[in-house]
Amino acid sequence: MSSYQKDTGTPEYQNISDANSGAAPSAKKWWARTDVYVCVGFMVIIGGIIGLHKAVGYDPQAIIDGAMSNNSPVVMKGDGTLALFDDNQRYVMEDYDARSTFASFLPGVAGYFGKPVWAFYVNRGQAIATFGTESKETPILEFNPANKAYQLTPFLGFRTFVRGTRSDGSSFETEPFSASTARTLSSDDDKENENKPKRILYVGTNEMEIEEIDGQTGLAVNVQYFVMPEEDFASLVRRTTFSNVGDTPMTIEALDGLARMEPYGGKLDWSLKNMGRTLEGWMGVYHADDTLTKPFYKLSTETGDSAQIKIEEAGHYCLSFIEDEVNQAPLLPIIYDTSKVFGKDTSLDLPRGLMTSSVEEILSNPQYGWAKTSSAFAAITDITLQPGETITVASIYGKAENIVDVDRIGAHVTVPGYVSKKFTLARTMIDELAAGVDTTTVNPLFDGTIKQMFLDNGLRGGFPTILGNVDSDTTYDEDPGVKVYHSFSRIHGDLERDYNAFKIVPTYFSQGPGNYRDIAQNRRNDVTFFPRMGSFDIQMFLSYIQADGYEPLTVEAVVYRFEDPDAAVRVAKSVTNDATSAETLGEVLKGGAFRPGQLFQLCEELSINLGVTKEIFINKILSEAEDRAMAVYGQGYWADHWDYYIDLIEAYLAVFPDGEEALMYDKPLRYFFSTATVKPRSEKYVLTMTYDGKSFHVQQLDATYFDDEKVDEQEAFRNDNTGLIGIEASWQRTADGLPFMSSGITKLFILGALKYSTRDAWGCGVEYEGGRPGWLDSMNGLPGMVGSGMPETYEMKLLLEYVLKVVSTYERDIIVPTEIAQMVDTVNEALDTLLAAGLSEPTIEDFENDVPPELFTYWDTVASARENYRNDVEYYFSGDTRALAASDVVSMITRWLDQIDLGIERSFQIGTVGFEDDGTSGIPATFFAYEITTWEENDNKSTVGLPCVNAKSMKVLKFPLFLEGPVRYMKVIKDDKERMKDIYDRVKTSGLRDTKLDMYFLSASLEGQTFDMGRQIAFAPGWLENQSIWLHMSYKYYLQLLKGKLYEEFFSEMRGGGILPFMDPVVYGRSLMECSSFIASSAFPDPSIVGEGFLARLSGSTAEFMDMWKFMFLGPELFSLDEEGELTMTLMPALPSWLFVDDDDETLVATYDKDGNPVVTFKLFASIPVTYHNPGGKDLFGLPPKKYEIAMAEGPLVIVDGPSVGAEVASAVRRMTTVKAIDAYF
């Protein structure tokens, strides 16, 4: 068998000639490092091995080949190369540490009743670059950004040192996974690489493993990592397996563990990086007993320089043992004194201490862990392995609240078979979490990608969990006892997104806060997979709409509270087993808002004894409690946060079309109350010097301000007992102190009216007047340029069209606050005046950039009305309302939509301008800006004392092409297939197409553009947002092709490499099952990284991918109402033939039914298997089945001839509990 070395000149793994496999191994590279010493009669080169007594004919490559065939989980293809996934459906990266760098992470999911750690890894060294609890402020291994992690991980992370002897007299010392013995893929010397170890990285959904097979020593080492599931102690599990793959017995001693282990002591990230040496003064290694097996790493006190001292009791621990499936495993001693291993080598490059001592000698001498950063190496001595034999050293790294907990944890984890069972649970737990998209096509890599995308989508948006009345089939809308709680979410901070402060709370039902736009997008299809949640997401997000038409930045987890104290006391008695516990729990439940994890934490701290299981405990409490959404203002008002509401509503209506009227009219919603206020134009149009200092111009600066009077309003809700501000402070009230509430349709109408009144002076884009841009937040300078966006215009059109449809359908009045009614009156009067002026529309031939006086006056009048409205509701609503008749609303919105359409037409006339762009592409523009050409100063000053002005005239400025423009435009023309195809063809032949990668740039070339637009242009072309391939926007584009029924175009783009997993694995540089945020495009100056993915996983592209899955497998409307208003179900997939049978790849084996028809299967609602039977294996593009066979839990098989299923069975499918399976025949 040959090696599996990748030839960088070809796209496939190539066999390496083994013609000289019997020759003596070359020593050329071994001598490149001169750290040679003699120890116990054998010569060692650290990182490589020269045995003094090797047997004649010793063949390292043969050992590697044998181990790969017999011991490794890899899948060998018929041509001798490795498959991209192993027999556990894990992604395989061969020679991982010789390839381009990438960073990723373990999910950080420990189960609903587990406490997680976070862990990030890179493809260098032993992979784990950093891990810890809660956030990077509390690391066990220090957090470093990716560029440093790639350098430091092989030295400061996990390390393994092995000293071995064989029965034939040969001996060795080696460091598996050492950077010095990584293969060189660009080398022409095949024999050189054959003499180096073979290394493979395996990426699973909830695990990561590395493997090294060393033909020189006959030693194979596998290291596996996973987060401990379903335990009350947060920990990372590391399993190091040593295998004798030689043909003689081998005796080894080894050190295996962390080169640097940080202590616990509060928030340490800043101190570690800025005063690390001083911080070491607080550090110490304590011990749970008088052995070396239970070290406890902590600071003596927290480091704050104040009169109040906090003694630190919590700490980090390391427990190691050799796994035993039969007997309780004894703990191994831990070497924590770094100098005993590395001596004076402060780089931690060479184990100079170990080079001069045996492991036993180190253990028999004193160690010191004070005033320095320590290590955590498990010490293994005198282990003999027969050929083919293995041992596995398990190490548990985590945090305990007190040193006394370490004994309990140690006794718990060393029971027979404990770790292997936990590993199995870690796998099955994630499989169950991702069961909503169990899919089986002919392509297992595609199926695995679906699962991974679903997982990553949930990690950013949260996995909706039904709590409370869990045993019924009722929905959140039907039963107040049904609660929805999103678990396992977090903001997307990681090694590459080092700017984001991620947080994964180490409690049961763990979760962390997330950015508004992230959560809103990634929860888009919650109801598609979890129909019992009903309209929960829509009600929550619509409640976040503020009176001013903006939303907060950060979404936090839902909280629960008891309005009725008697109910709290009653439920507390029912779930505890003694009077004291009942009384204590009752006081907790009456005391304020709580989350599930916090409640369990309080039960631990207050010694509340449960009288029922944890599941019954939390469900019984939440069934009686009421829920309340939570959010935090953050900073600035992003212009796109509201863009995602129609997507949420459409997803809901595809499952509950019969719930629309109640959702829109009968569910009162609150208004979020932020502590920031948008300034009027007179206070944010600032006269400042141009960047060249030669003239003055007007910019829109400091558009929002922190409103101290709003803070004072919130102070009224501060709890005297806890000192905390109550949750009611976050919701707007009337002057009488009552929460002001409106229906969903009212809130959407207000939102639409405010956005309509925020259109720019030409009536094209929606102004970025809140200080922040839209989705493309790298255009951070655009608000300063008095910028506007067409993406928001297209979304506004969709929003108002939806309001128009609802009001027209149900013909019910809309009850609005009088303040918005007055604003709307002014807006409509201004429109009457504009129309009476008879302004003629310019054509592209005579188009002038200057805003016509009539339009400027209209813009100024409408903007003033908006500002007056915001001033009226800045602190309170009056509480007075006005009923708008449905007919009046229809007439009003129809007129507004006419004006919006005019603005869209004008935007095509204005067009774009840029490098090699003359403005005639016919592709929708994305952004405009406005130069205020005349102005007059007013009496206001900016925050830095610059004069503020009132605009008197302005002209429009143009930008290059951005992909977001056509993406959003396609949403409003999706039913016009001819127009869709025209835009697609134009985009494909424009500067938005990367012809080298066959993908789409986020923007066309920005050459010659002003730096005023923001960081968009600060980066090198092809990097980050500057003309890169931004997967989220690309996926949005592909999704619109699918929604617009351009099936051939969509699947051509997908299989052509635009969508995972169909990219080139070598070029992409990371798992083909995992999205990255962007791909370095061909515009990047360095061609060696063109096509590589950067910024791992938690991006909005997963939301778009799951939408693609929905449209591919379910169709656009799974449920709908027929002409009689009855519920029907129609499956209408869009699946290409090559997902049933792929004749282009002989390794992909199709599945057939009993009649010989190829089939594809998937899970509906995570519970109902659906099988598509496809005679002839044809394309199924927008075709409904000819027949359904529906197996019920009880009763006969239901057979439905025709494309749709009627009301009774459709309702049963939606409730899930009585339907076993669905077969659809095409």
Mean pLDDT of 423-444: 95
pLDDT for position 189: 60
pLDDT for position 370: 96
What's 1003's DSSP letter? B
pTM: 0.93
Q: Say how far apart CA 66 and CA 246 lie, in whole Å.
A: 9
Q: How far is CA 605 from CA 244, 310, 578, 585, 600, in A?
A: 48, 18, 16, 12, 9
> Model confidence over 777-792: pLDDT tens digits?
999 999 999 999 999 9
> Model confidence over 1106-1159: pLDDT tens digits?
999 999 999 999 999 999 999 999 999 999 999 999 998 888 999 999 999 999
Residue percentage of the chain with pLDDT more than 70: 94
Residue type, 1199: I
Secondary element (H or E) of residue 883: strand 881-884
pLDDT for position 534: 98
Whether omega before 139 lies within 30 degrees of 0, making that bond cis, reads no
> Model confidence over 259-305: pLDDT tens digits?
999 999 999 999 999 999 999 999 999 999 999 999 999 999 989 88
Residue percentage of the chain with pLDDT more than 90: 85
Q: Is the pLDDT of residue 1084 over 90?
A: yes
Q: Say how far apart CA 1165 and CA 157 lie, in whole Å.
A: 42
Mean pLDDT of 250-261: 98
> Model confidence over 515-525: pLDDT tens digits?
999 999 999 99
Mean pLDDT of 1209-1215: 97
Q: Say how far apart CA 1165 and CA 564 lie, in whole Å.
A: 35
Between residues 62 and 348, which one has the greater pLDDT? 348
Mean pLDDT of 52-73: 69
Mean pLDDT of 40-46: 35
Residue type, 833: T
pLDDT for position 10: 36
Q: Is the pLDDT of residue 1225 over 60?
A: yes
Rounded to the nearest integer, the mean pLDDT of the chain is 92
Please report where in the chains the tokens 């061969």 appear, as a residue: 94
Q: Is the pLDDT of residue 12 over 50?
A: no
Rounded to 5 degrees, what are φ and ψ at 999? Answer: -135, -170
Identify whether the C-beta of residue 523 lies closer than 8 Å to the C-beta of residue 537. Answer: yes
Q: Is the pLDDT of residue 43 over 80?
A: no
Centroid of chain to Cα 725: 30
Half-sphere exposure of 417 (CA within 13 A, CB side): 5
The alpha-carbon radius of gyration of the chain (Å, integer) is 32
Q: Is the pLDDT of residue 721 over 80?
A: no
Mean pLDDT of 1180-1200: 96
Specify the 3-state DSSP secondary structure of 782. Answer: coil
pLDDT for position 54: 40
Q: Say how far apart CA 937 and CA 685 lie, in whole Å.
A: 10
Q: Is the pLDDT of residue 33 over 90?
A: no
Q: Minimal CA–CA distance to 153: which of 429, 286, 348, 331?
A: 348
Please report where in the chains the tokens 């006086």 appear, as a residue: 853
In b/e form, how buried is each residue of 362-401, taking b as 16+ CB within 10 angstroms? Answer: bbeeebebeeebbbbbbbbbebebeeeeebbbbbbbbbbe
Mean pLDDT of 422-434: 95
pLDDT for position 187: 63
Q: Say how far apart CA 551 and CA 540 lie, in whole Å.
A: 12
Mean pLDDT of 353-371: 96
Q: Minimal CA–CA distance to 924: which of 960, 956, 966, 958?
A: 966
pLDDT for position 842: 76
Largest distance between two CA atoms of the chain: 103
Q: Is the pLDDT of residue 897 over 50?
A: yes
Mean pLDDT of 993-1014: 96
pLDDT for position 433: 93
Range with the poorest average pLDDT among 84-88, 608-612, 767-771, 777-781: 84-88
> Model confidence over 479-537: pLDDT tens digits?
999 999 999 999 889 999 999 889 999 999 998 899 999 999 999 999 999 999 999 99
Secondary element (H or E) of residue 38: strand 36-39
Q: Is the pLDDT of residue 22 over 60?
A: no
What's 843's DSSP letter? P
Q: Say how far apart CA 380 and CA 370 lie, in whole Å.
A: 24
Q: Is the pLDDT of residue 48 over 50?
A: no
Please report where in the chains the tokens 């949930």 appear, as a residue: 458
Range with the poorest average pLDDT among 223-227, 301-305, 592-596, 805-809: 301-305
pLDDT for position 972: 98
For the chain, the first-to-last Cα distance in angstroms comes to 46
Q: Is the pLDDT of residue 1086 over 80?
A: yes
Secondary element (H or E) of residue 382: strand 374-385
Q: Is the pLDDT of residue 11 over 70?
A: no
